Amino acid sequence: MSTSVKPNLANKELIRDGAFVAGKWVTEAAETFEVTDPANGEVIATLPDQPVTIVDEAIDAAYESFKTFKNTIPRERATLLRKLYNLMMDNAEDLGKIVSWENGKALPEAIGEVKYGASYFEWYAEEAPRIYGATIQPSNPSNRAFTVRQPVGVCGIICPWNFPSAMITRKAGAALAAGCTVVIKPDSQTPLSALAMAYLVEKAGFPKGTFNVVLSHTRTPEFGVKLCESPKVKKISFTGSTNVGKILMKQSASTMKKLSFELGGNAPLIVFEDADLDTAVEQAIASKFRGLGQTCVCANRLYVQRPILDKFASLIAEKVNKFVIGHGLKEGVTHGCLINSKAIEKVESHVQDAIEKGSKVVVAGGRLPELGPNFYAPTVLSNVPQSARVASEETFGPLCAIIPFDTTEEVVKCANDSNVGLAAYVFSKNVDTIFTVSEALETGMVSCNTGLFTDCAIPFGGVKESGFGREGSLYGIEDYTVIKTVTIGNLPKRL
């Protein structure tokens, strides 16, 4: 079994033992819950399992803070966000260690997540002063009209475990830049990154009540109901499963909230026979095994044109066999563990199903109990049929399922045969293929000839049951504002 591994932090204040509400650290609670290291099951923190009333307190604090924060000038908010960005970058290694410790991903990847997450604070520091309106000439020549964008209000932010730092920054950065205040509910498996961020928010000088973090393990559904049904909360932003997104959407209907959801994905990665094979393999590996496959945009279905199928599978296997799997905080480790036993069970069920339906085993993979309870060596399968469960269900784990195809029309049809549409990948040297296939794919994002595309400058989001709304880019701040039209009438005739 994996031996105990504890990060040595330069700034030990980043590890917090309570929630953050109205600018105060709240550690008291009748009940507690434990946060464990997924690599070995050891308890790394004991936090308050707060009552539902804490959500009301956080909402009230955010609501009162909004009354003044909404009137701060954009440049002031930009300065605060820039300070927060600098603090995250100054503490990037420590924050990365916290991500790795509670999430299980390898430290280099965890530090990469922190820096990527921090970039959203930098981006929105630059976007805050650029929330523009428009001037309009109505049909009545005596009238004039103009629009202003105003902050929507208090925002409830519900985040997943797979990116415990970056999922918060993508949402909170836009909200704070617009002049909104936030109540954040992190996943109870990975709350330490959210609390570390709250500590940095405090150090950056944000007004009390603008940034609140509430904690619960046993009452997560009740916390969600409170956020969705409160008339003081004007927007919900959620990243997670499609099923939970639908529940939150129903709960929010009673108050007609503004919503933005980034939900499930089942990303197809398509490799045409004219692609640069080495590049396609390298980028497929980067996409498929980032976070050991536990990302919403990772390639879940790898469609490879039949003439290059065997060569592609062989090169993938060669790369996968070089992975160094172990505790994310240990030096030299390239890939860590899965988040829990249910994640492993899902991978195993998809592998078994695909093999039973005729798939060829290229790399067997499987559990690694000698490392710890949640370690799984990647499995690579070739000649996977379209009827396999992995073709229609998101694995969210280290199964590389390679499906052969013959024609462009065939692969586009297979790729679009899904109720979700978040990301897709296309590899080809033919610009005609790139354009036609990209336009035909039913996804919110298409990445061509690269497996890593996320960036604060581009809009992130999906279509179909992958949700709606966009995070990042010049569009990201729109979801946290409302447009107000002001009309001035009965003006004198033009001179």
- State the helix-helix crossing angle for 220-229 and 53-69, rounded to 10 degrees: 40
Distance CA 443, CA 300 (A): 14
Instruction: With CA atoms as reference, report the closest residue to 318 among 346, 276, 277.
Output: 277
Say whether both 249 and 139 belong to one domain.
Answer: yes
Residue 418 lies in a domain: yes
% of residues, the chain, pLDDT over 70: 99
Instruction: With CA atoms as reference, report the closest residue to 412 among 428, 436, 395.
Output: 436
Q: Which pLDDT tens digit goes with each residue over 402-460?
A: 999 999 999 999 999 999 999 999 999 999 999 999 999 999 999 999 999 999 999 99
Domain at 208, CATH number:
3.40.605.10
- Contact, 63 vs 173, CB < 8 A? no
Q: Fill in the amino acid letter for 156.
A: G
Structural domain including 214 reads 12-263+468-482
Instruction: With CA atoms as reference, report the closest residue to 87 among 205, 208, 214.
Output: 205
DSSP string, 190-219: S-HHHHHHHHHHHHHTPPTTSEEE---STT
Length of the chain counted residue by residue: 495
Say whether both 417 and 304 belong to one domain.
Answer: yes
SS3 360: strand
Cβ-based neighbour number of residue 169 at 10 Å: 28
Q: Fill in the amino acid letter for 151.
A: P
- Contact, 154 vs 234, CB < 8 A? yes
Say whether both 214 and 287 belong to one domain.
Answer: no
Please enumerate in sequence order all residues whose Cβ is within 8 A of that of 331, keeping only pairs 6 or more positions apart, or say none.
none
- Contact, 91 vs 193, CB < 8 A? no
Q: pLDDT by residue for the chain (495 residues), tens digit each?
A: 446 789 999 999 999 999 999 999 999 999 999 999 999 999 999 999 999 999 999 999 999 999 999 999 999 999 999 999 999 999 999 999 999 999 999 999 999 999 999 999 999 999 999 999 999 999 999 999 999 999 999 999 999 999 999 999 999 999 999 999 999 999 999 999 999 999 999 999 999 999 999 999 999 999 999 999 999 999 999 999 999 999 999 999 999 999 999 999 999 999 999 999 999 999 999 999 999 999 999 999 999 999 999 999 999 999 999 999 999 999 999 999 999 999 999 999 999 999 999 999 999 999 999 999 999 999 999 999 999 999 999 999 999 999 999 999 999 999 999 999 999 999 999 999 999 999 999 999 999 999 999 999 999 999 999 999 999 999 999 999 999 999 999 999 988
Say whether both 211 and 325 belong to one domain.
Answer: no
Residue 419 lies in a domain: yes
Q: pLDDT value at position 2?
A: 45
Residue 488 lies in a domain: no
Domain at 410, CATH number:
3.40.309.10
In 359-407, alpha helices (H):
389-392
Say whether both 206 and 73 belong to one domain.
Answer: yes
Please enumerate in sequence order all residues whose Cβ is within 8 A of that of 344, keeping only pairs 6 or more positions apart, or say none.
338, 367, 374, 376, 397
DSSP string, 41-103: --EEEEEE---THHHHHHHHHHHHHHHHHTTS-HHHHHHHHHHHHHHHHHTHHHHHHHHHHHH
SS3 48: strand
Instruction: With CA atoms as reference, report the closest residue to 177 among 84, 61, 60, 115.
Output: 84
In 265-340, alpha helices (H):
277-288, 309-320
Cβ-based neighbour number of residue 172 at 10 Å: 30
Residue 434 lies in a domain: yes
Say whether both 69 and 218 belong to one domain.
Answer: yes
Tell me phi and psi for residue 73, to 5 degrees: -70, 145
Tell me phi and psi for residue 283, to 5 degrees: -75, -30
SS3 457: coil
Say whether both 158 and 275 belong to one domain.
Answer: no
Residue 373 lies in a domain: yes
Say whether both 189 and 129 belong to one domain.
Answer: yes
Q: pLDDT value at position 3?
A: 60
Strands 376-377 and 233-239: unpaired
Residues identified as active-site = 262
**Number of domains the chain contains:** 2
- State the helix-helix crossing angle for 166-178 and 74-90, rounded to 10 degrees: 160
Say what the pTM is. 0.96
Residue 490 lies in a domain: no
Say whether both 246 and 297 belong to one domain.
Answer: no
Residue 403 lies in a domain: yes
Say whether both 320 and 242 belong to one domain.
Answer: no
Residue 126 lies in a domain: yes
492 DSSP assignment: P
Say whether both 249 and 277 belong to one domain.
Answer: no
269 DSSP assignment: E
Say whether both 249 and 286 belong to one domain.
Answer: no
